[in-house]
Amino acid sequence: MTLDKKIYKKLLEVPKGKITTYGELAKSVNFTNGQRAVGKIMNKNPYPVIIPCHRVVKSDGKVGGYGYGEEIKINMLKKEGVKIKDGKILDWENTVYRF
């Protein structure tokens, strides 16, 4: 299985209302220091409706980029129940999903 398929498959485990980080996602497939590569893989996601790349955020709590724009990413996360203020995830410890 290719790296992107492993990452997409792992991302499917993150439930609505939760987020994970690029680094956590990389570690979950044993890819040390792979957060940038994960970002590039998320950017190429061929099925954004099925594979919820909007649930991947930066480790500093900022929402980060999204192919359709940061505002859309924020709105999608908020609709799923993620609390965000000024582009940052609130209640980090209860919102982050650990693999």
Express each pLDDT in 37-92 by its tens digit: 999 999 999 998 899 999 999 999 999 999 899 999 999 999 999 999 999 999 99
**Domain range holding 22?**
3-95
pLDDT of 49 reads 82
Looking at 53, 56, 77, 89, which residue is catalytic? 53
31 catalytic? Reply is no
Q: What is the CATH number of the domain that holds 32?
A: 1.10.10.10
Output the pTM of the full model. 0.94
pLDDT of 48 reads 87
Give one DSSP letter per residue of 27-82, joined into a string: HHTT-TT-HHHHHHHHHT-S-TTTS-GGGEE-TTSB----TT-HHHHHHHHHHTT-
Structural domains of the chain, count: 1
